[in-house]
């Protein structure tokens, strides 16, 4: 009986080759397999007769035969439902066991087996492909050889070995060309395009997608063409070319509507929803995504809905509806895990991590991102790795762990530049600008911020938005025109009226768009000039304030010095007054020279400070010790600093810190340079700033200190460099006195 079963299969395959697609015999096996042997034989004979009736004689049947056929169809459908409940791979294993003969039927069975498992069991798929190659060589079966190369390419894509997959598909093309299988050649072009796409080589990907589309049109393969247009649109979407992306998605949608390709239509609606989500047009995004969801529900195709669930989750996340987003992400994650789709699982984990990141739940977010990263590394998914690196970098940036943030951002940049992913590059340059600014690398920060602005403007430029509006209008107009042409067969006059209305509507819309654009441009120009004038006025005010503050320092200093000189003269100390007057005149000359300039050399400023200290030692009955130390790393003539910044704090130490202290009075001035910051530290061993505050609440405030603080604020804003002031009582360090830490805005002149 077993030989009879095989004989029936062979004879039927030989007789009916021209009536069926190439794998139809294999599918007959799948429907009827693995029941008891006698039942298999009987069902196969009945199934063959039924197909024969359908393909040739249905329209010539009498009524009784038709009812008999319907009964057989119902019977076979029942058996089919039973068979489909069983694992396809187990059925195929059983079929291969029943059919050990080395012929084309076995090759087709093996090819079907590979098709079922290559994306989840690459090891077994490789083994079966090798068997197909050997068997096809033995029986000289050209299509079997070509199929083996094609499936080897699919396995290599699954392994992310895209360079090898391109070679395999090109070999398959050569073999398919020999047997003139254009539909299969078109599919190979499509898969080569996909391999280049995953490598980030968009130009090559577009070239092969266009080859595939041309061949599909040539052989009138509308379904294949609709898939290609969808793939082309995906590339433009990744590049931020939304006009081209929407145009190709709509072309794909029109074909799928025409041929009623519902699952493909759902995929296109999903992609359109994602595009409108990128453009922040959330109502239109959800409209397309819900259209896709309705299709998947109607065809009960829950597995393909996983991408859609992710897209809906993204829209809810963009609208700050984190709880709703998590519900959709977790549904998608279950479906991806059910299919053991590692890339999909990684994508879900990344998106769930993003929800926690937006909630500032940084620990949870990092857990999900690192899990996603591990999976992406395991399957060598560079795009997924880049996404995880970027998310991790953003979390570390929020935590102010800037070194770690920089490391992960640079890892992302390496992949994003390789794959040419514009959306990632925008986020990368934005992060780098913030990190470099925090590290004080202002040139790098400015450069990366410019790159960020350039990419951001290109992603959502006015031209892009205008093109999208125009495209939407053209698409809607095209639909209306097609509807009018259909009505023309019934009512010619009504169609003519409709066309006139459409033309009028087009003119009105065009005039409206032009008027809107002109008004928008005029408003933008006015806002631009007002902002420019405001910035110029603000800069002028800053310069005036700086000059005013510098000018305030000189009379303040002269007043203090002349008060001291007056005291010496009244005490009739002629020699001391002459010495004081000589040093004062020298110091006054330096001070007046410095006050004219915005920045002065550091050595000139230190000379003024030293003269000031020396001058006060003459006036004081109880002299004090002072020291000025400068790091060897500081080239004093090359450093330029604002004048009269250090002197006020020395004055405070002398006037207030040593107010009631007659012995052991010390002032130490130290200058250091590290991390591009010039730091001046002034240390005295007086009574301390806290004691001064308690004793001088009713006395006048230190005008010099207030002026200096205000100068630092304005200089920092003007020069975009750090300028800070910190005054501490040394009591917190179990010492006596005050320590002033001054971070001085500066410039370094290049040696000539």
Mean pLDDT of all residues in 552-567: 67
- The token pair that represents 490 in the structure block: 């019934």
Write down the residue that tokens 């040539």 correspond to: 218
* Lowest mean pLDDT, pick from 68-82, 333-347, 702-716: 68-82
Mean pLDDT of all residues in 60-86: 50
- The token pair that represents 744 in the structure block: 């001085």
pLDDT of 412 strictly over 50: yes
* Lowest mean pLDDT, pick from 82-86, 227-231, 336-340, 405-409: 82-86
By the 8 A CB rule, do 122 and 155 touch?
Answer: yes
Tell me which DSSP letter residue 734 carries: T
- The token pair that represents 512 in the structure block: 């409206």
Write down the residue that tokens 């006139």 correspond to: 500
Residue that wins the pLDDT comparison between 712 and 68 = 712
pLDDT of 71 strictly over 80: no
pLDDT at 658: 77
pTM greater than 0.75: no
DSSP string, 636-681: TTTEEE-TTSSHHHHHHIIIIITTT--SS-EEEEEEEEETTEEEEE
Mean pLDDT over each residue of the chain, to the nearest integer? 77
Residue range 257-280, pLDDT digits in tens: 988 888 888 889 888 888 888 788
Q: By C-alpha distance, which of 507, 502, 511, 454 is closest to 479?
A: 502
Report the share of the chain in percent with pLDDT over 90.
17
- The token pair that represents 643 in the structure block: 């004048």
pLDDT of 172 strictly over 90: yes
Residue 675 main-chain phi, psi, to 5 deg: 55, 40
Residue that wins the pLDDT comparison between 46 and 163 = 163
pLDDT of 683 strictly over 70: yes
pLDDT at 41: 44
pLDDT grade, residue 28 (50/70/90)?
A: very low
pLDDT at 56: 44
723: left (phi over 0), alpha (psi -120 to 50) or beta: beta
- The token pair that represents 714 in the structure block: 């304005």
Mean pLDDT of all residues in 551-570: 68
pLDDT at 151: 93
Mean pLDDT of all residues in 365-385: 90
pLDDT grade, residue 703 (50/70/90)?
A: low
* Lowest mean pLDDT, pick from 85-94, 534-543, 544-553: 544-553
- The token pair that represents 117 in the structure block: 């498992």
pLDDT at 322: 87
pLDDT of 18 strictly over 50: no
CATH for 341-459 is 1.25.40.10
pLDDT at 283: 86
Residue that wins the pLDDT comparison between 587 and 394 = 394
Cα separation of 49 and 82, whole Å?
21
Number of other residues whose CB lies within 10 A of the CB of residue 737: 24
Residue range 206-244, pLDDT digits in tens: 999 999 999 998 999 998 899 999 999 988 888 878 888
Cα separation of 674 and 632, whole Å?
12
pLDDT at 177: 93
Number of other residues whose CB lies within 10 A of the CB of residue 178: 11
Q: Give domain limits for the chain.
A: 2-98, 341-459, 465-543, 544-748
By the 8 A CB rule, do 627 and 683 touch?
Answer: no
pLDDT at 3: 47
pLDDT at 75: 54
Considering 19-33, 380-394, 440-454, the range whose residues carry the highest mean pLDDT is 380-394
Rounded to 5 degrees, what angle do the CA atoms 408, 413, 416 make? 125
pLDDT of 78 strictly over 70: no
In the 3-class helix/strand/coil scheme, how is 271-303 assigned residue by residue? HHHHHHHHCCCHHHHHHHHHHHHHHHHHCCCCC
Mean pLDDT of all residues in 24-48: 43
* Lowest mean pLDDT, pick from 118-132, 559-573, 685-699: 685-699
pLDDT of 555 strictly over 90: no
Considering 359-373, 495-509, 530-544, the range whose residues carry the highest mean pLDDT is 359-373
pLDDT at 542: 54
Residue 705 main-chain phi, psi, to 5 deg: -65, -40
DSSP string, 468-505: HHHHHHHHHHHHHHHHHHHHHTT-HHHHHHHHHHHHHH
pLDDT of 669 strictly over 90: yes
- The token pair that represents 332 in the structure block: 């998608």
pLDDT at 35: 38
Residue range 121-155, pLDDT digits in tens: 888 889 999 999 999 999 999 999 999 999 999 99
Residue range 728-744, pLDDT digits in tens: 988 888 888 899 999 98
pLDDT of 543 strictly over 60: no
By the 8 A CB rule, do 118 and 151 touch?
Answer: yes
pLDDT at 60: 45
Q: By C-alpha distance, which of 645, 608, 648, 643 is closest to 628?
A: 608
Residue range 589-644, pLDDT digits in tens: 877 777 677 788 998 889 888 888 887 777 665 577 889 999 988 888 888 888 88
615: which residues sit within 8 A by CB, 6+ positions away? 561, 580, 583, 584, 587
Burial-class residue 560 by CB neighbours within 10 Å (0-12, 13-18, 19+): middle
By the 8 A CB rule, do 360 and 397 touch?
Answer: no
pLDDT grade, residue 442 (50/70/90)?
A: confident
pLDDT grade, residue 705 (50/70/90)?
A: low
pLDDT at 6: 47
CATH for 544-748 is 3.30.565.10
pLDDT at 9: 47
Cα separation of 747 and 744, whole Å?
10
* Lowest mean pLDDT, pick from 109-118, 374-383, 428-437, 475-484: 475-484
pLDDT of 317 strictly over 80: yes
pLDDT at 557: 62
């Amino acid at each position: 009986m077993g030989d009879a079963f095989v004989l029936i299969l062979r004879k039927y395959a030989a007789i009916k080759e021209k009536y069926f697609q190439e794998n139809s015999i294999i599918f007959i096996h799948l429907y009827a397999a693995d029941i008891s042997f006698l039942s298999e034989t009987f069902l196969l004979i009945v199934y063959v007769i039924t197909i024969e009736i359908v393909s040739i004689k249905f329209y010539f049947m009498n009524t009784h035969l038709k009812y008999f056929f319907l009964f057989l169809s119902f019977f076979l459908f029942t058996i089919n439902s039973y068979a489909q409940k069983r694992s396809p791979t187990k059925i195929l294993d059983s079929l291969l066991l029943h059919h050990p003969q080395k012929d084309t039927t076995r090759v087709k069975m093996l090819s079907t087996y590979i098709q079922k498992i290559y994306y989840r069991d690459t090891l077994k798929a490789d083994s079966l492909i090798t068997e197909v190659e050997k068997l096809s060589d033995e029986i000289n079966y050209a299509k079997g050889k070509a199929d083996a190369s094609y499936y080897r390419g699919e396995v290599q894509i699954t392994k992310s070995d895209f360079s090898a997959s391109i070679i395999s598909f090109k070999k398959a093309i050569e073999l398919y060309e020999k047997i003139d299988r254009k539909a299969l050649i078109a599919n190979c072009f499509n898969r080569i395009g996909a391999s280049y796409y995953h490598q980030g080589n968009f130009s090559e990907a577009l070239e092969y997608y266009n080859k595939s589309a041309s061949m599909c049109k040539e052989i009138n393969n509308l379904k294949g063409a609709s898939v290609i247009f969808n793939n082309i649109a995906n590339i433009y979407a990744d590049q931020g070319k939304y006009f081209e992306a929407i145009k190709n998605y709509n072309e794909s949608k029109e074909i799928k509507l025409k041929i009623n390709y519902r699952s493909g239509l759902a995929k296109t609606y999903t992609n359109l929803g994602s595009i409108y989500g990128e453009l922040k047009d959330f109502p239109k995004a959800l409209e397309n995504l819900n259209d896709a969801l309705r299709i998947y529900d109607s065809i009960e195709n829950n597995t393909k809905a996983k991408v859609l669930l992710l897209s809906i989750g993204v829209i809810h996340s963009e609208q700050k509806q984190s709880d709703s987003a998590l519900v959709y992400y977790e549904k998608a994650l279950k479906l991806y895990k059910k299919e053991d789709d590692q890339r999909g699982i990684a994508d879900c984990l990344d998106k769930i991590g993003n929800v926690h990141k937006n909630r500032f739940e940084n620990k949870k977010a990092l857990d999900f991102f690192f899990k996603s990263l591990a999976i992406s590394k395991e399957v060598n998914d560079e795009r997924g790795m880049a996404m995880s690196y970027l998310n991790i970098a953003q979390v570390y940036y929020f935590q102010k762990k800037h070194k770690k943030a920089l490391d992960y951002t640079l890892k992302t940049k390496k992949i994003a530049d390789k794959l040419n992913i514009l959306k990632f590059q925008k986020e990368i340059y934005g992060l780098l600008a913030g990190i470099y600014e925090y590290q004080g690398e202002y040139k790098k920060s400015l450069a990366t911020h410019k790159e960020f602005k350039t990419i951001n403007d290109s992603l959502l430029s006015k031209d892009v938005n205008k093109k999208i509006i125009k495209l939407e209008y053209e698409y809607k107009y095209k639909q209306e025109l097609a509807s009018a042409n259909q009505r023309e067969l019934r009512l010619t006059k009504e169609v003519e009226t409709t066309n006139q209305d459409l033309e009028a509507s087009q003119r009105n819309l065009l005039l409206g768009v032009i008027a809107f654009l002109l008004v928008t441009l005029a408003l933008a120009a006015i806002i631009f000039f007002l902002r420019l004038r405001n910035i110029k006025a603000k800069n002028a005010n800053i310069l005036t304030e700086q000059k005013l503050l510098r000018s305030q320092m000189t009379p303040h200093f002269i007043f203090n010095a002349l008060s001291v000189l007056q005291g010496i003269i009244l005490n009739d100390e002629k020699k001391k007054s002459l010495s004081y007057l000589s040093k004062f005149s020298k110091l006054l000359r330096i001070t007046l020279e410095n006050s004219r300039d915005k920045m002065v050399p550091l050595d000139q400023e230190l000379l003024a400070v030293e003269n000031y200290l020396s001058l006060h030692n003459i006036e004081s009955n109880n002299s004090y010790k002072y020291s000025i130390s400068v790091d060897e790393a500081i080239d004093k003539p090359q450093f330029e600093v604002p004048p009269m910044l250090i002197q006020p704090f020395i004055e405070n130490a002398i006037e207030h810190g040593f107010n009631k202290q007659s012995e052991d009075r010390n002032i130490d001035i130290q200058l250091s340079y590290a991390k591009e910051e010039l730091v001046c530290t002034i240390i005295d061993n007086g009574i301390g700033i806290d004691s001064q505050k308690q004793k001088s609440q009713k006395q006048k405030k230190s005008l010099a200190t207030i002026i200096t603080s205000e100068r630092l604020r304005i200089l920092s804003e003007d020069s975009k460099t750090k300028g800070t002031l910190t005054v501490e009582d040394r009591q917190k360090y179990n010492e006596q006195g005050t320590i002033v830490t001054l971070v001085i805005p500066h410039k370094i002149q290049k040696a000539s």
